[in-house]
Amino acid sequence: MPSVKNWQLGRDMSYPYEARYPSRQFAFVFNINRCIACQSCTMACKSTWTFSKGQEHMWWANVETKPYGGYPRFWDVKILEQLDQASPDGQTWSGAPADARDRPYGQYDGQTIFEAAHRTLSPDSARVLGYLPTDEEWNSPNIYEDNPVGPRGVRNRLSETGESLPVHNTWFFYLARICNHCSYPACLAACPRQAIYKRPEDGIVLLDQEQCRGYRKCVEACPYKKTMYRGNTRTSEKCIACYPRVEGKDPESGGDPMETRCMAACIGQIRMQGLVKIDADGAWAEDRWNPLYYLVHVAKVALPLYPQLGTQPNGYYIPPRWVPRPYLRQMFGPGVDLALERSGAPDRELRAVLQLFRRSNKIIFRYEVKEGPKVYDGTLHGKPVVLYDDTVIAYGKDGKELFRTTVEEPIYVRPAIHANSI
Amino acid sequence: MPYDDPEPDDPHVLVGVSLPGDASATREMAEAFSDEFAQMGFDGDRILRLFRTPFYAGAHAALQLLGEAEVARIVDESLRVFGRQRFRVRAAGSVGRRGSCPR
């Protein structure tokens, strides 16, 4: 099996195909600290792409309540358990997070889903460790998560208040998910028809409906379970990253690349999506003033989802700061501690970049910070906070300014009745 | 949606157990929501509405566990820092607008 470089793992790994990289890669950062599971992203995607017959169970974008929920049910628990069984030495990392672009989280010493398959699966043609979820696991995207049941015996009606749900003294958070458009897609690796391909211009992973024969090898292989089988067409389907928008063909875009529907609909403004430059070796090319590059490689506050699986996913998450660290380390790798330290007390530049989230639906290719005066110096929840009236300017693909955002102190004019009340 | 008591072998019956949380995790979650939405330009009423709405189960659970007074205190603390500013977004070639909605 060919060897490819996986920078998230800090080492080379086996993959069924030789490495080939796009010039730019579709990538996104979600700030989970803001997500309230309003499901606007879910419905934006559903109403755009998967509203037809046979797509009832398809939720290309979904938000699940972790650690209890998942769609399909238990998807991450199941693949992690399989990986543990195939890799008795465990999913361990060595070294320490560092500044190197090709090894930012140390080195993963366990097995990936490709390596574990090579060792444990038969026949020899089996390429990826995975499993096919059952129909029961697919049919209820939010079962026992947030949705209260309706009154007993009354159909098609939900509780109007939801207070009847018991309150558990527990911890949880919301994990918004779409296809990660991985650099080493497991779905692509597993497809016997070579119906799945990665676009050289933007790294978006697409599934050719003409070529697909519905073998469901992709459904079995994708560890994130983001390819889905459609019974009435007997083909599989997956998130297409709203590629007409990313290409700038949406009428609203005026020719500029736009972010996907799920990003644009986000009420909590947790999402930023872009197209990052890729080096010849598959690592992110240095692009200091790209906001995604900054969040992932400079500030290091955004981390990949389950990097140990080995697909080099291109979705990154700013981890929730109230969740127990061991759980976060398993989910986001060894970069969690540094990410929480920095995102919990953002420095001046990070605070400025976080202001870029959802200020525009167009893709930001570069940003610039013009420093302004200090406007606040104090504490928040016992930690020091300093705020500046900095101007953050976002630029689009052609280098033209998209928008600029500033912080301003509101001016209150005392009403006449209180003009001399001091 | 279940309308009757489930069969013993119903695959939809919840088999998980809740992982015990503590007041500090709940408070930290409430602080995170409060800080983040204050930075987005929400005022105190809007943030508290978010906590009071039962369908935002995370925020609402924090309200139920910590109590309205404690959540109001947390929101006040966030607004003391972030509520003093308004973010102004000016799209290139257009008149600037206050607030934070990207539409």
Among B39, B51, B75, most A C-beta atoms within 10 A, so best to mutate, is B39
What is A243-310 written as a DSSP string?
Answer: HHHHTT-SGGGTTS-B--HHHHT-TT--EEEEEEEB-TTSSBPP-TTSHHHIIIIIS---EESSGGGS
Taking CA–CA distances from B1, the nearest residue in chain A reads A149
Question: How far is Cα A393 from Cα A276, in angstroms, rounded to an integer?
Answer: 18
pLDDT tens for each residue of A328-378: 999 999 999 999 999 999 999 999 999 999 999 999 999 999 999 998 899
Indicate whether B98 pLDDT > 60.
Answer: no
- Chain B residues in contact with A268 by the CB 8 A cut-off are 36-37, 40
Q: Tell me if A169 and B37 make a contact (CB, 8 A cut-off).
A: no
Q: Which residues contact A288 (CB under 8 A, 6 or more apart)?
A: A294, A298
Q: How confident is the model at residue B96 (pLDDT cuts 50, 70, 90)?
A: very low
Question: How far is Cα A103 from Cα A107, in angstroms, rounded to an integer?
Answer: 7
Strands A24-31 and A315-318 come out as parallel
Among A77, A163, A171, A331, most B C-beta atoms within 10 A, so best to mutate, is A171
- Specify the pLDDT at position A164: 59
- Specify the pLDDT at position A98: 84
| Residues A135 and A233 grouped into a single domain | yes
Last residue of a domain, one of A342, A361, A385: A342
- Chain A residues in contact with B76 by the CB 8 A cut-off are none
Q: Tell me if B59 and A321 make a contact (CB, 8 A cut-off).
A: no
Question: Per-domain residue ranges for chain B?
Answer: 23-98
Strands A107-108 and A93-94 come out as antiparallel
Closest residue to A376, CB basis, from B57, B77, B81 = B81
User: Does any CB of chain A come closer than 8 Å to the CB of residue B67?
Assistant: no
Percent of residues in chain A assigned helix, strand, coil, to nearest 5: 25, 25, 55
Indicate whether B41 pLDDT > 90.
Answer: no
Question: How far is Cα A31 from Cα A318, in angstroms, rounded to an integer?
Answer: 5
Question: How far is Cα A317 from Cα A315, in angstroms, rounded to an integer?
Answer: 7
| Residues A218 and A328 grouped into a single domain | yes
pLDDT tens for each residue of B64-93: 999 999 999 999 999 999 987 777 888 886
**The tokens 């676009």 sit on which residue?**
A199
Closest residue to A37, CB basis, from B3, B58, B64 = B58
Question: How far is Cα A66 from Cα A69, in angstroms, rounded to an integer?
Answer: 6
| Residues A118 and A237 grouped into a single domain | yes
Closest residue to B40, CB basis, from A269, A322, A387 = A269
- Specify the pLDDT at position B55: 79
| Residues A18 and A88 grouped into a single domain | yes
CA A202 vs CA A51, A199, A244, A280, B71: distances in Å: 26, 6, 12, 14, 44
How many separate domains does chain A show?
2
CA A3 vs CA A12, A86, A161, A318, B13: distances in Å: 6, 20, 55, 30, 44
Give chain A's residues under pLDDT 50.
Answer: 422
Q: How confident is the model at residue B10 (pLDDT cuts 50, 70, 90)?
A: confident
User: Does any CB of chain A come closer than 8 Å to the CB of residue B2?
Assistant: yes
Question: How far is Cα A344 from Cα A150, in angstroms, rounded to an integer?
Answer: 39
CA B16 vs CA A68, A73, A144, A326: distances in Å: 7, 12, 10, 19
Residue A163 domain flag = no
- Specify the pLDDT at position A122: 67
Residue A24 domain flag = yes
**Complex prediction ipTM:** 0.81
| Residues A177 and A275 grouped into a single domain | yes
| Residues A10 and A144 grouped into a single domain | yes
What pTM was estimated for this model as a whole?
A: 0.90
Indicate whether B103 pLDDT > 50.
Answer: no
Residue A214 domain flag = yes
Q: Which domain holds residue A267?
A: 3-154+170-342
Last residue of a domain, one of A326, A342, A358: A342
User: Does any CB of chain A come closer than 8 Å to the CB of residue B95?
Assistant: no
Indicate whether B102 pLDDT > 50.
Answer: no
CA distance B68 to chain A (A): 15
| Residues A287 and A376 grouped into a single domain | no
The count of C-alpha atoms lying within 13 angstroms of the C-alpha of A355, restricted to the half-sphere facing its C-beta, is 33
Q: Tell me if B19 and A170 make a contact (CB, 8 A cut-off).
A: yes
| Residues A142 and A264 grouped into a single domain | yes
Residue A320 domain flag = yes
- Specify the pLDDT at position A293: 98
- Specify the pLDDT at position A15: 95
| Residues A394 and A255 grouped into a single domain | no
- Specify the pLDDT at position A148: 58
What's the burial of A379, exposed, middle or buried (CB within 10 Å: 0-12/13-18/19+)? Answer: exposed
| Residues A59 and A144 grouped into a single domain | yes
Q: Tell me if B55 and A162 make a contact (CB, 8 A cut-off).
A: yes
Q: Tell me if A171 and B19 make a contact (CB, 8 A cut-off).
A: yes
The amino acid present at A197, given as its one-letter code, is Y
| Residues A274 and A309 grouped into a single domain | yes
Q: How many residues does the structure list for chain B?
A: 103
Residue A394 domain flag = yes
SS3 A214: coil
| Residues A256 and A357 grouped into a single domain | no
Indicate whether B14 pLDDT > 80.
Answer: no
DSSP state of A358: T
Closest residue to B92, CB basis, from A145, A320, A400 = A400
- Specify the pLDDT at position A7: 97
- Chain A residues in contact with B59 by the CB 8 A cut-off are 36
- Specify the pLDDT at position B89: 84
